[in-house]
Amino acid sequence: MWRDAEQALTLMWLLSWISHSMCHSSPGRPRITRCRSPEKETFTCWWEPGSTGGLPTSYQLYYRKESSLEVFECPDYHKAGNNSCYFDKRHTSIWIIYNITVVASNALGKAYSESVEVDVMDIVQPHPPENVNVTFMQTTNSPYFLVQWQPPHDADTRSGWVTIKYEVRLKIENSGNEEDSNWESYSAGKQLEFSIYSPQPGANYIVQVRCKLDQGLWSEWSPSAFIQIPDNMSDTQNAFMIIAVTLMVIIFLLTAGVLTVKMKPVKHFFLPPVPEPKISGLDTQLLKSGKAEDIFSALITPGYPQIAQRSDHQVEYLVVSDYDEEMDFNGKAHLEFQKGENCLTDTAQKVSQNSIQITLNSSQDVRTTLSEHVYSGAVSSQLSATSGVLGEPQELLPLDCNGLPVKAQDQNTQMSSGSKCEHVSINPAGLMGYVEVDEEKRDQTPLVGEDYSMVTDVISDKILVLQDSIPKQGHKEVKCDKTFKAEETGVVFEPLGYLETLTTFSSGS
Amino acid sequence: FGLSLPAVAVLLVALLCLDPHCRVGSAPICAHGPSGCHIPSLADLFDRVIQHSARMHSLSNDLHSEFEQYFLPSKNHIGKIYRKCHTSNILTPNGKDNAQKLAREELTEVILKLLMAWRDPLFQLHQSMAHQQDFNSFSSNKALEMGDMAHELRKGVEKVAEKMRVLGMLGNSVTGLSAAEAMLPLSDSGEAMSDYELLYCFRRDSNKVQNYLKILKCRIVPEHDC
């Protein structure tokens, strides 16, 4: 039993002795974590110790410069804190490689860290900018806030040794919203202040600044500066005013629109009706509803048409003829136009300022195009008359103001000497091509008043082109007068001496 | 024609010598002072060369890091300490205090020596980079631009020195300006340096040039940015 107890004790003593001796060992390898130079004139290296081995361990830092084999020890272990080595200006050489090693030593041995090679040029990282403050500037229309700071105190820019560049970042402090939590960064160059325009009213901003020297590393971000943007009351008032005015305008427009549609007086106020062409003395209602005889009797009222004036006024003729075949009316339209006092009686009549272009396309489907061009000088126009019956296009009859082959007889008793309008009526009857008036066709539906459905084209302000759907006779009349009226064939409602004009045309050669 | 050769020669000489208007001379473009054209001031010249040197250094930085990234994947710097640049013979100030203690003339001379020493090696670098397929065209273009820029910078610094001498800022003790010789980039053992070594050395030297120029500028024309 005593033997067992001795053995147990011995065992325990052995164990304790072993365990006690196992706590002590040579130190573990330290590790150099980083080296930094804040101003490119001095630098500091920090290391991280390995295991201590249970014994008090001391650390030494040794370095070697690039070109020599001489080994130096760290000049200052304390300035930069624990486990650090600070190289002051005297001991710092730039553009030279340092080979640095840290040794951990205790009673049982030494441990060497891995060597690190540094060139001070590569490890330049300044301290962050100092005294960052933000002020809100309330100008009238464009509020902004101004960020100001100071350079880190140890960077020497005055001698030009280093050039500092800054960067500002800000974000809105928003407790719940994730959208606004991103930083906005702005490069600020070398200046010591920065303006942020158009801040959000009522928002809380966080602002930070950092810097770097030449091509070195960026510093840490400075401590945050906070600013609260006030709610801008005048802005909201402006917004209300704008909304109110807009609503008023919309309401006004709506009421105006509704009233315009519903009530005629308002409608006439906003949209005055276009005056229709009216012939004095002519009752359109009567024309719509009445019979032919009533209509005619309504027309022939005392003083209307002014036939009696005919002898007092000049006679105007529209002469349309062909020089070569003047007596041959086959398939040619003859129009005679003469303007009395201004034109010579001969064929070389001079239509003072007018020329007429007349186109007859076919007798089956007569589409007569009449246009009158009022020129200030002598012009020539062309008359082209084609007859589909003949199967060949008519030759163009040049109409010239000076030598006028185009003749048409016309009487315009209302024309004054200076007037330039004339009547033209063309009636190619079958093969004859005469301009003829067929009085029996008058009772066809007139083209009067507001029925413009037959009009296919408007050439000038005096000419309408009508579509003739019953091409028995190609009546076409163009009246260019102040009271313009274009009529379909067969029906003559020409109040100004048209009746007389009609009778002057002969329907035979 | 009858004229003999000596007679023709005599005539030519007579023409050249007797008629001064026939001689071709050179007149400065900005002969009429500030109204004629803008003569850059010394501060402008300094700004220009400093910008130039900054650009040159950033190019060398880019090339060096490209090299390290693609050709030396292990960031193993062992062996660097034994590398010696061919410009190590040129004594250069190794800190701010040393640079400030140097006189203007000596500092200018150092800058010019450095730039001159890199004239041929940069050309060699571009040649060897252009011939290797490993590099893309951007890198070899950068090397070419870097070489041109070093050349331009040297010309610029020479102009600055000239202007300073004219303004009386530089003493006449600067003798080394014209005597800066081009150096061969040989390492200690006499072999030609590799591209990587050249890039490393040039990166360092361009940083030196940039710093020295800035010190010089703020000492001579400290108006702005100092």
**A390-417 pLDDT per residue, tens:** 334 444 444 444 444 444 444 343 333 3
A87-111 confidence digits (pLDDT tens): 999 999 999 999 999 999 988 888 9
Three-state secondary-structure class, residue A360: strand
CB-closest option in A64, A67, A159 to B96: A159
Find where tokens 């050179």 sit: B26
| Residue from A425, A354, A241, A115 nearest B78 by CA | A115
For the four alpha carbons of A280, A283, A287 and A293, in that order, the dihedral sign comes to negative
Tell me if ipTM is over 0.90.
Answer: no
- Kindly report the CA angle at B186 between B182 and B192, in degrees rounded to 5? 120
Q: What is the mean pLDDT of residues B17-37?
A: 60
- The number of residues in chain A equals 509
For the four alpha carbons of A68, A73, A79 and A80, in that order, the dihedral sign comes to positive
Q: What is the DSSP string of A233-269?
A: HHHHHHHHHHHHHHHHHHHHHHHHHHHHHH-HHHHHH
Distance CA A167, CA A147 (A): 11
pTM: 0.57
CB-closest option in B57, B80, B204 to A117: B80
A428-459 confidence digits (pLDDT tens): 444 444 444 444 444 444 444 556 677 677 67
Q: What is the DSSP string of A184-242?
A: EEEEEET-SEEEEESPPTT-EEEEEEEEEETTS---PPPPPEEEEPPP-HHHHHHHHHH
A463-493 confidence digits (pLDDT tens): 666 666 544 444 444 444 444 444 444 444 4
| Residue A132 pLDDT > 80 | yes
B164-180 confidence digits (pLDDT tens): 888 888 776 554 455 55
Distance CA A65, CA A484 (A): 112
Contact indicator for A473, A488 with CB cutoff of 8 Å: no
Instruction: Name residue A464's amino acid.
Output: L
* Banded pLDDT at B115 (limits 50, 70, 90): very high
Candidates B94, B202, B203, B223, partner chain A, best to mutate (most A CBs within 10 A): B94
Q: What is the mean pLDDT of residues B131-142?
A: 75
Distance CA A449, CA A282 (A): 10
Return the pLDDT at B126.
87
Tokens of A371: 């246009």
Strands laid side by side in the A423-426 sheet: A423-426, A476-479, A486-487
In chain A, the percentage of residues whose pLDDT exceeds 70 is 53
Sort out which chain B residues have CB atoms less than 8 A from A160's CB and list them.
214-215, 217-219, 225-226
Instruction: Work out the number of other CB atoms within 10 angstroms of the CB of residue A101.
Output: 18
Cβ neighbors of A49 (< 8 A, separation 6 or more) are A27, A28, A30, A57, A59, A83, A104
Contact indicator for A505, A434 with CB cutoff of 8 Å: yes
Q: Are residues A121 and B58, on separate chains, in Cβ contact within 8 Å? A: no
CB-closest option in A64, A121, A159 to B207: A121
B9-B10-B12-B15 Cα dihedral, nearest 10 degrees:
180
Q: Are residues B96 and A158, on separate chains, in Cβ contact within 8 Å? A: no
Contact indicator for A334, A387 with CB cutoff of 8 Å: no
Three-state secondary-structure class, residue A14: helix
